[in-house]
């Protein structure tokens, strides 16, 4: 029967090494469902709904792991000598992972991007551009981790859990990456999933309503973003100052005597976005930085993507790259899957992850000129997630009806809620004068079919909300679903070119 316990990270690391567990041949695992065998060390920390410590002896007996560290509880006893109690294990997870994986972030340049919208796009473009500039850059974020065009899947969280983050950083360092561009979500920052990561550069995109089901209100949501502005290892920051919170983020960075570069359309920004010209196959972006005018063309569409591009330019400049080298690197970047992703041309179908009021509005505003050039209508198919922020539902209904010609309200991961109830809440925000634009189809596949097959060749159809996702969660069922694949199938049926 085991009664003694370890007190410190130093003691735990010494115990692991004495038992033959090292980062190069074994891993720390916090989810028992992800254990792969005796080479793994399971960190059994009780959660809100489940206490994995009760599984410790069984997991060892079944050889699903080789060692279990348990959060110490004097009421529990274990049979196996391979169960090691640790006092306050939960509070030392970050420092333990940092030490076990041999301080991986210290050996790389780490750029953390936060903000409501644009994190996935900005991290991808930064990594793509840095690779074109001769660095070896990786991404950690919503879509996975690794080289930007060859991502490996992880837990599905925008920011993985703290042990997972350090494990991934270790893998990336072992693969000779010298730079990591990671997404720092508000929830990830609040839950300290990036604790002990040596972040060198912070980038802020924007702030609008999201995750209020978790944070409670916008003030709390904003405070979570400010955690990054006061990061202890921060050497510089690049901040979009076109919203009030950006100015607050900038002020906090400067108050710590950390270098801060401002980006935006507003006069006085260090990197000012002067003009965006819409071209047939993209846009031309004009910037003013260090009193010099710079312009370049890109195949990426959307005013908001011009803002993202300006932010990326400023970060690259801050890292020491010259404008004449940055421009060709930026011209070659491509959007992530499910971010303004074109699927077909007759009608033009666009898949986008826009799932917040601000993102939906910007996506529709971006596509309106495109639809007008084609002399067609602008359609939108969207829903809102179940068991998430309900307050945004009527807002998104109002935005869709205001900016689109035809609106199909449908399901988007209803989870445990009634799909019809969610749809009704969305519809409640639609102005009575615009009701005739709106159709209801709770089944998402059918809604996409109606839009793609009913639209005329010259129309533009936006499938919003799911983006890159390949499943739909209804109740407790996780059903395979891809907006892009649905669109391709229905385009093929009507004889269009997908």
| Residue 319, phi then psi, degrees to nearest 5 | -80, 0
Q: Which two tokens stand for residue 302?
A: 């959307």
Angle 248-249-251 from CA coordinates, rounded to 5°: 65
Separation CA 71–CA 89 (nearest Å): 5
Structure tokens at 389: 């922020």
CA atoms of 138 and 141, how far apart (whole Å): 10
How many residues are listed for the chain in this entry? 498
Q: DSSP code of 117? A: S
Residue with tokens 């609106």: 407
Strand bridging mode 144-147 / 137-141: antiparallel
* Site of tokens 């990197």: 271
Q: Helices 303-318 and 119-132, interaxial angle, to 10°?
A: 50
User: Regarding the domain with residue range 9-98, which homologous superfamily does it belong to in the CATH classification?
Assistant: MurE/MurF, N-terminal domain (3.40.1390.10)
d(CA 207, CA 228): 14
**What's the CA gap between 26 and 163, in Å, rounded?**
13
The model's pTM: 0.82
In this prediction, residue 498 carries a pLDDT of: 46
What is the distance between the alpha carbons of residues 383 and 363, in angstroms, rounded to a whole number? 15
d(CA 89, CA 151): 31
Q: For residues 304, 310, 312 and 317, what is the CA-based torsion angle, rounded to 10 degrees?
A: -170
In the chain, residues under CATH classification 3.40.1390.10 are 9-98
The 10 Å Cβ neighbour count of residue 268 is 8
Residues of the chain with CATH 3.90.190.20: 341-493
Longest alpha-carbon distance in the chain: 77
CA distance 282 to 263: 22
The second-level CATH assignment, the architecture, of 104-331 is: 3-Layer(aba) Sandwich (3.40)
Backbone Cα Rg of the chain: 24
Integer Cα distance of 184 and 240 in angstroms: 16
- State yes or no: cis peptide before 476, omega within 30 of 0: no
**pLDDT tens, residue order, the chain (498 aa):** 444 789 999 999 999 999 999 998 889 999 999 999 999 999 999 988 899 999 999 999 999 999 999 999 878 889 999 999 999 999 999 999 999 999 999 999 999 999 988 899 999 999 999 999 999 999 999 889 999 999 997 655 666 889 999 999 999 999 999 999 999 988 888 889 999 999 999 999 988 755 555 545 667 766 777 899 999 999 999 999 998 889 999 999 999 999 999 999 988 899 999 999 987 678 899 999 988 999 999 888 888 899 999 999 999 999 999 999 999 999 989 988 888 888 988 999 999 999 999 899 999 998 998 899 889 999 999 999 999 999 999 999 999 999 999 999 999 999 999 999 999 999 999 999 999 999 999 999 999 999 999 999 999 999 999 999 999 999 999 999 999 999 999 999 988 444
CATH of 341-493, one of 3.90.190.20, 3.40.50.300, 3.40.50.720, 3.40.50.1970: 3.90.190.20
Asked whether the beta carbons of 437 and 329 are under 8 A apart, the reply is no
Span(s) in the chain for CATH 3.40.1190.10: 104-331
* pLDDT on residue 217: 64
Show the tokens assigned to 41. Answer: 């060390």
Residue at token pair 């692991």: 16
């Amino acid at each position: 029967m085991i009664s003694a316990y370890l007190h410190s990270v130093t003691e735990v690391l010494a115990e692991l090494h004495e038992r033959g567990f090292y980062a190069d041949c074994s891993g720390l695992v916090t989810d028992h469902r992800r254990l792969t065998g005796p080479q793994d060390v399971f960190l059994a920390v009780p959660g809100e709904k489940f206490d994995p410590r009760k599984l410790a002896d069984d997991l060892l007996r079944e050889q699903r792991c080789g060692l279990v560290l348990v959060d110490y509880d004097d009421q529990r006893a274990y049979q196996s000598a391979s169960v090691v109690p640790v006092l306050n294990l939960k509070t030392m997870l970050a420092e333990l992972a940092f030490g076990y994986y041999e301080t991986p972030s210290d050996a790389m340049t780490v750029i953390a991007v936060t903000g409501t919208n644009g994190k996935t796009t900005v991290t991808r473009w930064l990594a793509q551009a840095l690779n074109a500039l001769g660095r070896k850059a990786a991404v950690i974020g919503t879509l996975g981790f690794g080289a930007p065009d060859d991502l490996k899947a992880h837990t599905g969280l925008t920011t993985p859990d703290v042990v997972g983050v350090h494990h991934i950083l270790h893998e990336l360092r072992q693969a000779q990456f010298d730079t990591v561009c990671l997404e720092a979500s508000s929830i990830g920052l609040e839950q300290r999933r990036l604790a002990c990561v040596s972040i060198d550069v912070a980038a802020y995109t924007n702030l609008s309503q999201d995750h209020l089901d978790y944070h409670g209100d916008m003030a709390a949501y904003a405070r979570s973003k400010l955690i990054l502005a006061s990061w202890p290892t921060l050497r510089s920051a690049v901040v979009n100052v076109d919203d009030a919170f950006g100015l607050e983020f900038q002020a906090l960075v400067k108050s710590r005597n950390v270098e801060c570069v401002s980006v935006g359309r507003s006069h006085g920004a260090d990197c000012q976005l002067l003009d965006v010209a819409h071209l047939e196959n993209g846009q031309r972006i004009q910037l003013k930085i260090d009193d010099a005018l710079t312009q370049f063309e890109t195949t990426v569409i959307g005013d908001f993507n011009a803002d993202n591009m300006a932010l990326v330019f400023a970060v690259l400049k801050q890292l020491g790259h010259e404008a004449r080298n940055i421009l060709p690197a930026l011209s070659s970047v491509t959007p992530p899957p499910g971010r303004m992703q074109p699927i077909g041309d007759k009608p033009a179908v666009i898949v986008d992850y826009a799932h917040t009021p601000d993102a939906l509005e910007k996506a529709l505003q971006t596509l309106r000129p495109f639809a007008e050039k084609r002399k067609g209508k602008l359609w939108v198919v969207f829903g809102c997630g179940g068991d998430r922020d309900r307050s945004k539902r009527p807002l998104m209904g109002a935005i869709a009806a205001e900016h689109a010609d035809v609106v199909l309200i449908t399901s988007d991961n209803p989870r445990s809620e009634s799909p019809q109830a969610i749809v009704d809440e969305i519809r409640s925000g639609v102005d009575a004068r615009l009701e005739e634009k709106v159709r209801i189809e709770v089944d998402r596949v059918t809604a996409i079919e109606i839009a793609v097959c009913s639209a005329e060749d010259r129309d533009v159809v936006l499938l919003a909300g799911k983006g890159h996702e390949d499943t739909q969660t209804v109740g407790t069922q996780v059903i395979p679903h891809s907006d892009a694949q649905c669109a391709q199938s229905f385009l093929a049926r009507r004889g269009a070119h997908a």
